[in-house]
Structure formats: C-alpha cells, structure tokens
Structure 1
Amino acid sequence: MHHPRLTSQPLLSLSFQRRGLGGGLLALALLAGCGGGGSDAAVGTGGGATVASYALGPITGYGSIVVNGVHYNEKSARVFEDDVECGACASALKLGMVVEIQGGAVDTSTSRANAATVRFGSELKGPVSAVDTSGGLITLLDQTVAVSSSTVWDSSLTGGITKLAELLAAGPVLLEVHAQFNSATGQYLATRIELETSLSSYKLRGTVASLDTVATTFKIGNAIINYGGIPTASRPANLADGLKLRVRLATAQVNGQWVATTLSTGVRKVEDSSHAHLRGTIGTVNSPTSFTVDGITVDASNASWPDGTTGLVAGARVEVEGAMVNGVLVATKVEFDSHHSGDDDDRNKPEIDGTVSAVDTSAKTFQIEGRSETISYAGASFKDGTVAKLLVGAVVEVKARLASDGSLVAKVVEFKS
C-alpha cells in the first residue's frame, strides 16, 4: 500500500504565512521518522502540546472524509468554515473541497485517523462573466479559473463546463469555487464547483497587488478592489502588496471597481506533527531542496524523490510527506502528480463508503445516505456480492472515477454487510 501524506491548522486563506525554521529542526525531524508499529506517534517539542497529524488537500472520498489517501473520522471533530465554527456543518464537507485537518495519529496499516479540527472555505463566490469550453477556463470576479479532469462538479452542474456554458447563455450564473491557486499561471485550479441560486455578497481570496493607499484600492488578479468604505480600525494593520486576504465584496461594482465590505487575514502557526502530508501547487522555488507549497515552506534536503527533481518548478502539482517542525514541512518524500495520474491508487479517484439510500435500476445509478451525488454503476464490478445485492440499506465501499462531465462512475462496489 502506498501511504498518504498530511498537513494542519486553521485556515483564513489556504495560503497563509508560516513561521520560520527553528534550531531544533533536525533533531525533531529525526524523531518524527523513528516511529514503530502501525501508527505515527506525536512528537514532543518541549513546549506546548503537539498534534500527531496534519493534512492539506482536496477531499477525495467520504464515509469518513478522505484527504491525501488517509480516512479521517470527522464525526467528533470541530469544523470551521472561514474560521467560524459551525457545529452542524460536518455534513457540508463534500468531494473536492480543499480542507485542512489537524488530527490524531495515523494508523499506517489502515490509513485511518481521527480528525480533531477540520477547516474549509471556498476561494471565490460570485458571478460568471465568461466560459471557454475549449480551454477549460471560467472567468469569475475578474479571475481565471481552470477546470480539469479532477474538478468535482456539483450535481446541479452535471455536464461540467459544457453545462455551465449553456446556463450562462440562458442568463446570469452564480458559482462557489473551491480551488488551489497556481502562482505560475495566475489561475485558480478548481477542485469543486457549485451552482448558487443567490448571493448576498461575493467572496475572493488572493494576494494583494498594486496597493494605492491614497485611492484606497488594490488588485487581486485583474480585479480592482476599493476598500475605502471599511473603517481604518477594521483594516489589516499590515495591509501591503503580497499580503494574503479574504475579501467580502458588495454585489454591485462602482465605476468598474469591486467594493470591499470586509478584509480578513492572519498569520497562522502550523503545529508540530510527526505525520504531515500536503497536496498542492508549488509557489516559489528557493533552491533544489527548498520551496513552498500553498504557502507552506518545504525543506526537502533529506527527502526521497521517486519521480526525480526535474519537475521542480513553480506551478507543479506535488504531494509531500514528512513532519511539521516549527512551521516547516521537513519532507521525507516528494512526488509529482503528473507522474501518477493513471496509478491505481491515484489520490484523485473518489472513495465512497456508506449506506445506499436510493437505487435507479433503469438509469443504473445509486446514491449514498446523506449525500447528493448520484453514482453510476453501469460497468462496475462487484465484490462480495452481485448487482442484485445493490439495494437500499446495503452498506458499500465504492472505488469510483470522475467522468468527463463531472459525474461519478463506480469502478468497484464492495459490499460490507
């Protein structure tokens, strides 16, 4: 079994600032790599408590949520959306949402752990202004959103970008986009897209550029944002170019500018953990062994590179395993997504556990209790039973894939009861 990789801590933006590397890093990294048995033990720092595992990446399965190949039991976790705790929103966690998980030790024999906190939040909410079906690009809030074969489309958008283009031709379209930013292309790589019927405000996460304190404007991507209506006391004290922000916007532009109603940012400390695993996009490359992934500094000086290092460039998608030490991921392994898109254990392939709540034998589809997605079983193979056993109430484990239109197609359906 290929064992997963993880990451941790609160998220105001998924690309928040990190603390620097401490003097005890090497000793802690060695301790982190010396666990025995079936789970990773937490590493002490001599100070406060440490977490045992940390994950950052898109959700690729549910039953317990699956992130970077690890099944996290989130039933008792504290769940936060945009830093606001929402007691009942564990059910809002869906395929393709990018999450941060802080949890207990990972049992490496089963790839399972208990989540203590789960944090999520979309990157954009707002109106679509253009759709390029051939290029797989969407323009939203003056930002470019790229879709791919791993983008999860909500059931209301079955048909993917083609369906979206049809809707836009018929009238205004509002979307919520979960994504990871690619600094090399200046695009948001969509991991999940949902259709919204109405929005009282819009939202954009990104990096401040072209700050003009006299005109009280700045840019995120191609969007010009006016923050003059926000009281000085409510603005970030460190507002400057390069700062990561989450911006709430009024729904109407004024003189071609978006009007900010709130600006939020924060410096996050990632807790030390013996098992850290993240999946994301390389931002800056400082050296062949030092780079950032979604704002997290990676020290790969002692890492293995199964795919080689020639793909180490800004914009490359990677998975990194290691230990979090003083806000730095001390890597033990670095892999490139581009080398593993066809692997049997590809992390993009959805894994779905649960109880069957509906079956349509004519369409050859079924649904899992508590979930809106419809799963096609046409062409699926069955384990520990036949298709005749696929009935309401059956407990199943499904290995699936995303079809080109964004729908879920079961590859293997295994009966668990």
Structure 2
Amino acid sequence: MLQVAFIRDNKDKVLTGLKKRNFAKLELVNEIIALDDVRKKTQFDLDNQLGEMNKISKEIGILIKAGKQDEAELSKAKTASLKESTKKLQQELSEIEINLKRYLYEIPNIPNDLVPAGINEEDNLEVFKHTSDLTIINHAKPHWELTKDFDLIDFELGVKITGAGFPVYKGKGARLQRSLSQYFLDKNAEAGYTEIVPPFVVNEASGYGTGQLPDKEGQMYFVNEDNLYLIPTAEVPVTNIYRDELLDPEQLPIKLTAYSPCFRREAGSYGKDVRGLNRLHQFEKVEIVRIEKPENSYQALEEMVDHIKGILESLQLTYRILRLCGGDLGFTSAITYDFEVWSGAQKRWLEVSSVSNFETFQANRLKLRYKSEGKNQLCHTLNGSSLALPRVLAALLENHQTETGIHIPEVLVPYTGFDFIN
C-alpha cells in the first residue's frame, strides 16, 4: 500500500506510474488527497475540542475549591456539550479513515523506472536467455502422455477424488516431485536462506498484509466457518511472520525459504494451454523471501535472480528471463522478473518462477519497520519462486525423455535414488 504522504508529495510520479500499468481509476489519486485533507481538518478540530475539554475540566476543580458552584455547573454543561461534539468528530474521523484505507487498497504499487511500458505479456522484455546443451528427441511427447505411459501422475484419479486440477502423483512420479522440493530447499539453504515450515492457511490480516486481499480474493479458497484462507504461496505466511514488527537494523537482511502446497482457484482458466501440469488448483512450490534495508534491496534482487539461474542450469533446462511490462505487473510489485523454461514437446515457454521487489508496498501494509538513525523506517520486501514444481517437473519429463525412457538430471539422483524412468 502506498503512503498518503508519498502520493501527495509525488503526485505526478504516481500518475505516471499508474498510467504505465494502464490503471483505469486515476481519479482515485485526487480523491485520496482530497479525503486526506478532510481527515486532517477533522483531526485538527477534534484535537482542539479535546484540548478545550481538558482545559475546562481543570478549571472546574479550581472553581469548586473556590466555592464558585454556579460557574462550575456552567463549565460542566459546556464540557458535556463538547463531549457530544467530540464523540461525533471521532465517529466521522473513523469513517474517513476507513474510506481512505479502502481507496488506498485499490491503488497498485508504482513500477520501477526499469519496468517497460506495455499492455500484456507480449510487451514483456526478454533480458536473458540460456540454452541447454541437452538434445530433445524428435516427436517428443508432452508430459501428460509421458506421465500416463510411465504411470507417474493420474489426472483422472484426482478428478474422482476432488476435481480437475488436483493430480495424484504415483511411484517414481511422487518420488521425483519430493526430490525436487528437497533439492530446491537444500540449494536455498546453501545460499544462506533459513528454512521455515509455515501454516498453510492464513487469517484475513495476513492476506491484507502481503496484498492478496482484496486484489486476489476471488482466486483464493476460503474456509467460511473459520474465516481463513488456503495459501496461494508460502510468501503470504512467511512474510507475515514480521507483520507489526520493529526490527533492529542488525537483524537485516532476513533470508527465508519455505516449501508449501499452494491453492489457487484459477477461475477462468481453460483451453489447451492449461492441460496437464500447466495450470493446477493445488501444486507445490519452494519460495524464497527477503527483508532488506531499502538501499540494499536491488542488489538482493540481482542475487535472487542469479540464484534461480543456477538451479535451472543445474537441471539442464533451457530458460529465459523476462522483465514484466507495466500492464503485466502484479498488483503489489515494483518490478518482476519471470523465469520461463522451454517445453520441447509443447513448443512453448512455461513460467516457473517470478522474482519481485515490492519495495515498501507490502511493508507499509504489514507495518514492518526497522530503526534507522533513531527513526522508524519501512523495510523493503522481496520474494521469488525457487521453484514452482508443476512446470519444472513437466519440462524435466519432456526435455529429458529418450526413445526408451526419461533420464534424471545428475544433481537429482542422490535424492531420487534412480537415474532413469522406464
């Protein structure tokens, strides 16, 4: 969430950034500033009346001691009137602050200057590409055929148990899935990330803290009886560890990693591009989260990008990195790099990671601060997939297939216990 003072002091920058995002409700900027003016005036009047009440209350005691009962009674009547007036002002102020926060929740983050202008994914900028030396066989099969041929994943059984988008992993498919999770966690630990096992459901405050609410409420599974949400990513519970915290600067940077199942309704997702593992309602992911001082956050972003590069190259996958354009940028992000792996069978790119710097946007919602030169400063928060399992698994199966089976990348063999699926 943007701070009102930032919007007021940087109005032109905010409007320019929102236009880069193709944000339709630019009038909200002026409405926020105008409503904040009303809030300030109401707060000023309330403070004056409270001050007047305190002054008269002290005078009443003096008048009573002096035996001036009549004057004391008049002052009491005046404080009673002021009490009613201040109660009304307090109610007005509360309503103004609720409306102001509601408006602020509608404003997305302002893109970094590096973010290209554009409307959709076709305008994203490719900034890096790595081509694996792995040879993909002719007439390579897509993963939904391979998983059936080798009895690795049963999509129909998932439909029977739950519904579409909830696959059942079996035998070596389940072992490979678990091995990837463990490998990613180990690589993250080697890079200095502390492992966390968070809750997989969160309360409303956590959803608002990281920006999933109200922006993505329709995409989240909701447990009505308990007012809890199934997490769409481990970013939500892990980042909320530090909600309402004032950190000592010596605690920074904070580097955390977590494995979790992820749950997304993915409403409106249909067609050939969502077949098999390409888009699921339940999937597994390993996440990395960083909390940084503002002056260090973009160096941290580069480190996260380089870290994920190394993991993908160790799996012998061809991949590219896109810097997302304004129109494709997530609501809370100031800048995002998407990693996409090449599917040799589907002949298309599959997104496997998004690495984002939110700058102070999440921290302002979370009230996540640190002490700097005696003042409370907002932290910068970052997160990235390291990595999302379904499409990585799909790319591994498709790109490592041979005429007789599927090779397992060398780095995974100690985890799987086998080097070939046949």
TM value normalised by structure 2: 0.25
Bigger helix share: 2
TM value normalised by structure 1: 0.25
Bigger strand share: 1
- Pick 1 or 2: higher relative contact order, CA cutoff 8 A, min separation 6: 2
Larger CA Rg, structure 1 vs 2: 2
